[in-house]
């Protein structure tokens, strides 16, 4: 028999390499557990750092909010906001009042122009009075038909809610008819 040289050390090393190349399940679980612990540790460290940062921001904000100058300014802002609310309420009241005033009948030069220009030539005014929303006109004329014609003219202007008269009287000494016309003003525009 021939003697072969056997190198057992080489063979042992090759066997160890094979074993090293094959990873056991225990080794895989161990690596996964170590990786999970490292990831959780990093995440926990991140949360701790963020928590400290937030606490510092909260402390900074609390000190800012509790600063006497800021508290005084906030009180001033609150007072201004209250004043704005009061001004808004006043504005609403003024708007409502303005609507009422706009709707309320107005006695102005335009109404006087209508009364004057619609008057027949033979009629003369003796008295004109404005009270609340009515205009009372006392007048004299030579013919009784002038009064009814004048009432019709005023009605056709559509400037009044109502125009009426109760008749006339005749003054023999002066030779004139006297009558009273009542014009009720319209509200609104």
Q: For 63-99, what is each residue's pLDDT tens digit?
A: 888 888 888 989 999 999 999 999 999 999 988 887 7
When pLDDT is averaged across residues 149-154 and rounded to a whole number, the result is: 90
* Maximum mean pLDDT: which of 11-25, 39-53, 110-124: 39-53
For residue 58, how many other CB atoms are within 10 A of its CB?
10
Q: Residue 22 to residues 12, 19, 25, 52: CA-CA distances in angstroms?
A: 16, 5, 10, 46
Average pLDDT of the chain, as a whole number: 85
pLDDT of residue 12: 77
pLDDT of residue 64: 86
Q: Is the pTM of this model over 0.75?
A: no
From 1-5, 106-110, 120-124, the region with the lowest mean pLDDT: 1-5
Q: For 33-73, what is each residue's pLDDT tens digit?
A: 999 999 999 999 999 999 999 999 999 988 888 888 888 98
Decide if 182 contacts 151 (C-beta within 8 A). no
Residue 145 has pLDDT above 70, yes or no: yes
pLDDT of residue 159: 86
Beta bridge partners of 141: 177
Interatomic CA distance for residues 36 and 34, integer angstroms: 6
Higher-confidence position of 21 and 135:
135
From 94-103, 133-142, 151-160, the region with the lowest mean pLDDT: 94-103
Q: Which of 43, 62, 66, 42 is nearest to 54 (CA)?
A: 62
Decide if 125 contacts 147 (C-beta within 8 A). no
């Amino acid at each position: 028999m021939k003697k072969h040289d056997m190198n057992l050390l080489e063979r042992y090393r090759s066997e160890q390499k094979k074993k090293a190349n094959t990873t056991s399940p225990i080794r895989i679980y161990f690596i996964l557990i170590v990786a999970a612990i490292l990831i959780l540790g990093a995440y926990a460290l991140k949360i701790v750092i963020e928590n400290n940062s937030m606490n510092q921001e909260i402390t900074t904000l609390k000190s800012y909010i509790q600063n006497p100058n800021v508290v005084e300014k906030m009180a001033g802002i609150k007072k201004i906001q209250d004043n704005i609310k009061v001004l808004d309420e006043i504005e609403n009241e003024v708007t409502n009042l303005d609507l009422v005033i706009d709707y309320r009948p107005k006695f102005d030069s335009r109404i006087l122009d209508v009364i004057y220009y619609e008057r027949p030539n033979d009629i003369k005014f003796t008295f004109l009075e404005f009270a609340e929303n009515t205009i009372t006109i006392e007048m004299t004329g030579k013919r009784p038909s002038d009064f009814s014609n004048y009432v019709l003219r005023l009605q056709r202007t559509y400037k009044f809610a109502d125009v009426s008269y109760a008749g006339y009287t005749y003054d023999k000494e002066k030779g004139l008819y006297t009558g009273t016309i009542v014009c009720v003003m319209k509200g609104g525009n």
